[in-house]
Amino acid sequence: MEVEIKIPITDVQYQDFVKDAENRDELFGKCRRTDTYYSQYDSKEERLAHGEPLIRIRSEENYKGEVRDFLTYKIKQTINGVENNVERETEVADDITVIQELFENCGFKVWWSKDKKAVGEMVTIDGVSIHVLIVLLVKLLMINFIMLKQK
């Protein structure tokens, strides 16, 4: 389970955070996320009318240059004016291009993509991973609380 909070920040807060990030140790690192969303439909309206969830492939590179790929489906809802997303995600350990080819052969096309660059820090306390990111360019503070599976 993941809870994500997005908070707009001021230019001064953003500059302070980025300046601080450059002076921190390796725990506080830069990351890059490339998200590609797939759909069988040409418009958001069509996709919503047919109840298609968002399907995403994420490629994430951490500050060490290590790349991990994830396959996610997301169902977005608005409840009492608050966006509520149900996400199911799994890491893809093998070649992600196999999944991309599968999507194409099943009639899915790239619907939308985005590239996020961020600086942030992750800490895990009692099975809860807390990831704090400042997304560069959009000046957005994102705080993710992620419940990790107990082994």
Q: Where are the alpha helices (DSSP H) in the chain?
A: 11-22, 44-49, 97-105
Q: What is the pLDDT of residue 9?
A: 77
Show the tokens assigned to 5.
């909070």
Distance from C-alpha of 57 to C-alpha of 62, rounded to nearest angstrom: 16
Asked whether the beta carbons of 21 and 49 are under 8 A apart, the reply is: no
Encode pLDDT of 100-149 as tens digits.
999 999 999 998 888 877 776 667 777 777 767 777 666 666 666 555 55
Asked whether the beta carbons of 48 and 125 are under 8 A apart, the reply is: no
| DSSP percent split of the chain into helix, strand, coil, nearest 5 | 20, 55, 25
pTM of the model: 0.70
Encode pLDDT of 49-85 as tens digits.
888 888 999 998 877 788 899 999 888 777 888 777 7
Distance from C-alpha of 22 to C-alpha of 24, rounded to nearest angstrom: 6
Encode pLDDT of 6-58 as tens digits.
777 777 877 777 677 666 554 456 678 889 999 999 888 898 888 888 899 99
In the structure, what pLDDT confidence band is assigned to residue 151 with cuts at 50, 70 and 90? very low
Q: What is the pLDDT of residue 146?
A: 57
Instruction: Give the DSSP H or E segment for 139.
Output: none
